[in-house]
Chains A and B, each alone.
Chain A
Amino acid sequence: MKLYELTAYELSERLTSGEVSAAEVTEAYFERIESVEEKVAAYLELTQDVAMEQARQVDDWRAGGEQPGPLAGVPVAIKDVLCTRGIRTTCGSKMLKGFRPPYDATTVRRCRDAGMPMLGKTNMDEFAMGSSTENSAYKVTRNPWDLDRVPGGSSGGSAAAVAAGMAPIALGSDTGGSIRQPAALCGISGLKPTYGRVSRYGLVAYASSLDQVGPLARDVRDCALAMNVLAGRDQYDATSADVDVPDYVAALTGDVEGLRAGVPKELMGEGIDPAVRTTIEAAIGQFEELGMAIEEVEMPNLDHSLPVYYVIAPAEAASNLARYDGVRYGHRTEEDVSDVYDLFAKTRGEGFGPEVRLRIMLGTFALSAGYYDAYYLKAQKVRTLIKQDFDAAFEDHDVLLCPTSPTVAFGIGEKADDPLQMKLAHVCTIPVNLAGIPALSIPCGMVDAMPVGLQIMGRPFEEATIMRVGDAYQRATDYHRQRPEL
């Protein structure tokens, strides 16, 4: 087995035992990147020098008798939405072309401190708005399982990099499904943690009340390893929670006997591709075999998730993205301008792509005087109802199960002109962000030779439970071991 085919956990064992060095592992990854990146186009920026220096540092530690953490020497790819000190951070937007932040995101710093060499920055939908990574201003990332299909989005670069063996672990961000849906479409595992579980400091904001950073990896155990590095309170993020962080790897006992799972009717019905539904039902059968009790649950307010999301997220985005005005950093128009407002308008008109402009306009409308109550305020109220549906469902159930994506990966360009269809790609994942709960996507079968993802949702701060369930499934199946041919 080649080094790039190993999971992070397996790499960690070999690194700890001294069987391989961090430099060898990192080199192996850059060799793999060199051979397949041209086809997949997952990265916006490669940081080989930085990675090699970090890898050698880890090797020096180990040579000096130090015992760095289990992920020391295991490389990581970073979604381009996370600030990396001195390294270009563009969010897939022309607006931030060439922008080098003077600081590291907390999650990036934690990876650095854990000794994880940074492979590079991965492609994404502009400002994390999209479901296919086609909204990137720079390149189209391809699904490693079928290069004519999308990898999902917005963390499509991170998902494709892991699926193609170009990174063992990648960081993504998830506002409405941007970690889980690409993980599903690329046949890997991805976790969106509870809102507040992982610091957002240095995560370029799309929708502040929904955004969360999380890992994408080959299996659940690798996600757990990554969460041991990422999770925990951060003094620089006032919304990060002061809740104890368990050892997520130790929580993977393989025992799910007696756990109760609910299957929300609203996320299994209309709009779900029948073949995907069949695959999910088979996976649910597998959980029954593992000793879990399964029953259908009704969560009627989930039907409103998409409209609620498309009021709240654009409203927050309109405000969050107001700072890109050409005054301090990033793109500035080269046209003649009549005054400062003309400078703002031209800069923003040129720097933002069509989807971002659309959402800024939507959000501005929703927050405007006279419309605020009817849109933003109402959406917040319905959001509370959606949360209450989850609270009720979790009274009797430990986890909830449903498809991650209503379909398998679609063709490049197929939905590019149909914004509604594109948005429906996140229909199963959006309720999770609105409720602030954690959810995991794991591969659970194939349709049309493309991977299908199963979503496992849990109570707030019970990442350990959903990962235990996902890991138990992966112990019993081998969908997560399947790899695309490249």
Chain B
Amino acid sequence: MYGLAFPKCPLPIPNSRRKVIQMPMEPMIGLEVHAQLNTESKMFCSCSTKFGAEPNSNVCPTCLGLPGSLPVPNRRAVEYVIRTGAALNCQTAARCRFARKNYFYPDLAKNFQISQYDEPLTHDGYIDLDVDGEQVRIRIRRAHLEEDTGKNIHLATGSSLVEYNRSGIPLMEIVTEPDFTTAEQCREYLTQLRLILRCIGVSNANMEEGAMRAEPTVNLVDRETGEATPKVEIKNLNSIRAVYQAVSYEIERQRRAVAEGREDELFQQTRRWDEDKGVTVLMRRKETSDDYMYFPEPDLVPLEPEPEWVEEIYASCPELPAERRERFCTEYDLPRYDAEVLTESRQLADYFEETCKRFEGSAKMVSNWLMGDVMSLLNEAGITIDQSPISCEMLAELLRLIKEDVISGKIAKDVLATMFETGRSAAEIVEEEGLEQISDTGALESVIDEVIEENPGPVEDVRAGKDKAIGFLVGQVMRKTQGQANPQMVNEMLREKLT
């Protein structure tokens, strides 16, 4: 638990006059996720979705809601939602509609948002999670399509500006059933969902950048009687960690209120997560549900994705991160941690598999090099694996040189860095810089003799059976050969000579 303001339930009940609910109440949590789809153009017009453009430059009559403008749906965005539906085991509707959600707000150019209401594009799916070894199935109620709003910018002077570059960017809303019972499950769901959305290439799903936003609804329920506390919606969550903390906090807050009989704190409400204080704060009481005056969008005809197209999208759904992770464990005999790291991005996982195909050696060795030296070079350069100057063929060649004792692992690190810098192949670098391992006994013998001569103390220790000292002598040989000696051979030759 992070930063909770009060201890865990159950708490001693301080006042016997208070009404006490004795039943154990279980958290019931639902998650609503909004993900920006990474299409080139906006949902209902051809404006660019490029991030970071001059304010109000990626706009047109349609996304500014000018009089007379009309929406035309982006087919790619429709495809992305269907693809997400396929990945989340959802059904895609043969016919669905867009609806207008009417409310007044300055960042909403038309003062209504084109969304979907009672007829979502995809619905009724599920995702299976592995939460600390426990299998949990979360049902997906729906994944639908809508447009994003603009952004209000409040100035210190008291006036406000509105930025409409984001207005009309396609958004997908994914709503789960209230199947989560712990904050850990919520965290795992968001982690997996993010991996999936990235894997299928529909969203960069970055919560910190606002490309993915999550709103949990938390309450407590007695599964036997069905008695439940009123639902609380939490907003302002900018990371998966924040969702985890806020949900944990909210469960405890409600539990304590129930345990202490403080029913006045339990009412339907929207709360805001205060990151700094680590608490949720009341934003507004929800007396009634908001009335958005939904009605079918008359400017658009019903959406009827052709069955062949939908089938094609479902059929081309790639292997998802969770499945791939399992396969990496079994097929490549990788530790779970390795499999998790490698499947975090589809590109990294592809790179791993492509390298393995080209390298006749252990997959664990590929994994070690990839997760270690290759990743740190990439991180330093601030680039991703698909931008790496080292192709999987090149990495496979380097690993072969190590495996065949042409170079030592230590030398290989330097070779890798040179490869990264110059884009040259490992063989070329080793050849040109004369980095082959010295595996020639004759050449090694004279160096070893020198070392024995110069280090009588350690030599005595080895002879006296202190095995540790041999490492020192190997190190000395390595130093004299600038690391090019084959350490295995040096070790063996030293032992032969001293015992």
Which A residues are within 8 Å of any B CB, using their own CB? 82-83, 89, 91, 96, 99, 101-103, 105, 200-205, 207-209, 235-239, 315-316, 318-319, 322-323, 325, 327-329, 340-341, 344, 364, 367-369, 372, 376
Contacts and interface: CB of A to CB of B under 8 A. Distances in A.
B298 interface: yes
Contact of A327 (B61, B72, B73, B106): B106
B369 interface: no
Contacts of B400: none
A83 B62 CA distance: 13
Contacts of A319: 100, 102, 112, 293, 295
A239 B297 CA distance: 11
A170 B68 CA distance: 19
B110 A236 contact: no
Contacts of A318: 102, 293
A322 B432 CA distance: 73
Contact of A344 (B104, B112, B294): B104
A329 B110 CA distance: 12
B71 A238 contact: yes
B162 interface: yes
Kindly list the 6 A-B residue pairs having the minimum CB-CB distance in the complex, ordered from nearest.
Answer: A322-B111, A208-B298, A367-B293, A209-B298, A204-B67, A202-B68
Interface string B34-61: 0000000000000000000000000001
B218 interface: no
Contacts of A328: 64-66, 109, 162
11 contacts: A101-B66, A105-B68, A204-B68, A205-B68, A208-B299, A237-B72, A316-B295, A319-B102, A328-B64, A340-B106, A369-B293
A201 B72 CA distance: 11
B210 to A, nearest CB: 22
A322 B112 contact: yes
Interface in B68-110: 68-73, 100, 102, 104-106, 109-110
Given A329-B66, A367-B293, 19 more contacts: A96-B67, A102-B61, A208-B298, A209-B298, A238-B72, A238-B299, A238-B301, A239-B298, A239-B300, A318-B102, A319-B293, A322-B102, A328-B65, A328-B162, A340-B106, A367-B294, A367-B295, A368-B291, A369-B293
Contacts, number: 101
A236 B70 contact: yes
A238 B73 CA distance: 8
Nearest to A312: B298
Contacts of B294: 367, 372
A368 B300 contact: no
Nearest to A328: B64
B100 to A, nearest CB: 5
Contact of A201 (B64, B70, B112): B70
A376 B100 CA distance: 14
A419 B174 CA distance: 47
Contacts of B70: 200-201, 236-239
Interface magnitude class on chain B: 20 to 34
Nearest to A105: B68
Nearest to A91: B67
B111 A238 contact: no
A204 B294 CA distance: 21
Contacts of A82: 68
B68 A239 contact: no
Contacts of A83: 66-68
Contact of B111 (A200, A239, A325, A329): A325
A369 B103 CA distance: 13
B298 A325 contact: no
A198 B161 CA distance: 37
Interface in B147-164: 160, 162
Contacts of B112: 319, 322
A206 B454 CA distance: 98
Interface in B396-436: none
Most buried by A among B61, B64, B294: B61
Most buried by A among B64, B67, B162: B67
A368 B293 CA distance: 5
A136 B68 CA distance: 19
A376 B99 CA distance: 14
A322 B61 contact: no
Contacts of A236: 70, 72
B67 A101 contact: yes
B299 A203 contact: no
A209 B301 CA distance: 10
B104 A341 contact: yes
A237 B68 CA distance: 10
A323 B300 contact: no
B162 A102 contact: no
Nearest to B102: A319
A89 B111 contact: no
A83 B70 CA distance: 12
Nearest to B164: A328
A239 B66 contact: no
B301 A239 contact: yes
A323 B68 contact: no
A432 B163 CA distance: 42
Contact of A323 (B67, B71, B289, B295): B67
B204 to A, nearest CB: 28
A318 B111 CA distance: 10
